[in-house]
Amino acid sequence: MRRAELRRETTETTIALDLDLDGTGKADVATGIAFFDHMLNAFARHGRFDLAIRAEGDLAVDAHHTVEDVGIVLGTVLKQALGEGRGIRRFGFAAVPMDEALAEAAIDCGGRAYLVFDAQFSGHTVGGMDTSLVGHFLESVCQHAGVTLHVRAYGRNNHHITEAVFKAFGVALRSAVAREPGDESVPSTKGVL
């Protein structure tokens, strides 16, 4: 079973997260940031992952620590759920339109952490959350999961851009972690990810 869970506590946040890569898209998310919850629900639904998150953070300061730490925990749990990566496709790509917005995501679950994030927002906030946290969340996931992710997005509406990004990330990741029927090898010429 490709599932993992983790509880992480710091002086700034407490995060409990459970991820099942072979789920149905069921999400139960409560971070204290309604817009972020909406985005994580979209990620899980379109990635077909079962995702449960309970997060408490120093939101009186701002959303930064909560968003970052959820990314750290999601990345850590994703890495645990993938294990050695035997039998996975490894690479995934998705292009997701949302009205005037389009997001493209290409991912490699090959063990190297890197993010290229090219998205233009028309303002500094969306749903009460700083738009800079969208890329920062993805960077935290990549660093702790050991994945490379390239994201390009454009549009006029910050909500649409952000939602397309989270959906594209989910769909691309779903493709990358999908099992190749009859293949239990590690998808690398090195023999390890």
Structure tokens at 48: 């077909």
Instruction: Enumerate residues 6+ apart whose C-beta is below 8 A from 188.
Output: 85, 90, 110, 111
164-191 pLDDT, tens digit each:
999 999 999 999 999 988 877 776 667 6
User: Model confidence at 21, in pLDDT bands (50, 70, 90)?
Assistant: very high
101-145 pLDDT, tens digit each:
999 999 999 999 999 999 999 989 999 999 999 999 999 999 999
32 neighbors 61 (Cβ within 8 angstroms): no
84 neighbors 186 (Cβ within 8 angstroms): yes
Angle ∠(78,89,144) on CA atoms, nearest 5:
25
What's CA 44's distance to the chain center, in Å?
9
Domains within the chain, CATH numbers bracketed: 3-177 (3.30.230.40)
52-74 pLDDT, tens digit each:
999 999 999 999 999 999 999 99
